[in-house]
Amino acid sequence: MSNKVKIGISIGDINGIGLEVILKTLANNAILDYCIPIVYGHTKVASYHRKALGLPDLNFHIAASASAANPKKANMINCWEEDVKIELGSSTEIGGKYALLSLEKATEDLNSGEIDALVTAPINKFNIQSDTFKFPGHTEYLQQRSGGADVLMFLISEELKIGVVTGHIPIKDVATSITKENIVQKLKMINDSLKKDFWIEKPKIAVLGLNPHAGDNGLLGMEEQDIIIPAIHEAFDKGIICFGPYPADGFFGNGTFKQFDAVLAMYHDQGLVPFKTIAFSTGVNYTAGLKVVRTSPDHGTGYDIAGKNLADPTSFIEAIFAATHIVKNRREQESLLRGQLRSGGKIIETATDVKDDAN
């Protein structure tokens, strides 16, 4: 039996660039040295995209299930049988319907352990809405389906790792959602993920302010004084090495972010704008806090370039590598802990600095 990581891939919106970046990624056989890719979609839809884009032929192994995947080929699980109308570059109800069918089957296999990780191609958050999908995005859907108590949208790259306290909510609701408890919880999740998933022994985390100039000592808002600073102190007392709050503009403009292993932003665009500016083509969206592993590229459906053979697969490739890396790190950590238990030794801090109480 192959011990390579099984990576499930949901195809996203069939009218976007999801299948283009998937096909371009899997056209390079070198990817098979690292993982077993399993695409949840349909060969006819993939063939349509391949022909429309003029891409080289890619022969999928048709697998009846993830357990039947061929470790030496790119695999496809056909999630439906009927013909599908594809309208490249358009948001349609059909595009949302089949994106959800792919995601549902892949998530089912992820939760049952049939695959080791899931890489999701971009969906349209509007046309995918249905009786079974009433979520702002992948993150919230996977949290509910995987039973996660809390999750963290964690954008990762070699240059920068950044999480957010509030994710897909209206900007008018951000300030009231910033609480000391939420900040401490997100700091704990970043800290745990850096240790468990990335093997950073003593991570150092920066915390951004909410207001311009981090409130200017209360002149431009009291959230820093009343909420964020007390949260930083509490987290530090719990063993989390964190500092701040830093004004977001200067923090990225003068390169201060390079001094930290990760950054906690207060809201979506405060974190994602600098992240995509710094690491747009290589960035990966990782959902930390789940028992399962899920990553995605940090771009959207790309309707404006769909069908034009212009989509860059780099972020999708990085998402596959990140998922594979995290799964292997978790496996090695579990192996170390099992070895300690078998030897009768006390569980102490390992190379990943994982503690049995985890605060």
Quote the pTM value.
0.89
Q: Report the pLDDT value the prediction gives residue 167, as an integer from 0 to 100.
A: 87
The tens digit of pLDDT for each residue in 189-211 reads: 999 999 999 999 999 999 999 99
Burial 30-44 (b: 16+ CB within 10 A, else e): ebbeebbbbbbbbbe
Instruction: Say whether 264 sits in a helix, a strand or coil.
Output: strand
Q: Residue 298 corresponds to which tokens in the numbers above?
A: 């940090």
Q: Would you say residue 337 has pLDDT above 80?
A: no
Which domains, ranges and CATH numbers included, belong to the chain?
1-148+290-349 (3.40.718.10), 151-283 (3.40.718.10)
Q: Residue 322 corresponds to which tokens in the numbers above?
A: 């990140």
The tens digit of pLDDT for each residue in 93-132 reads: 999 999 999 999 999 999 999 999 999 999 999 999 999 8
Question: What sign does the dihedral 322-108-45-28 (CA atoms) show?
Answer: positive
238 φ/ψ angles, rounded to the nearest 5 degrees? -90, 5
Q: Residue 261 corresponds to which tokens in the numbers above?
A: 């292993």
CA dist 250 → 40, 153, 155, 287 (Å):
43, 23, 20, 27
Residues contacting 81, CB < 8 A, separation 6+? none
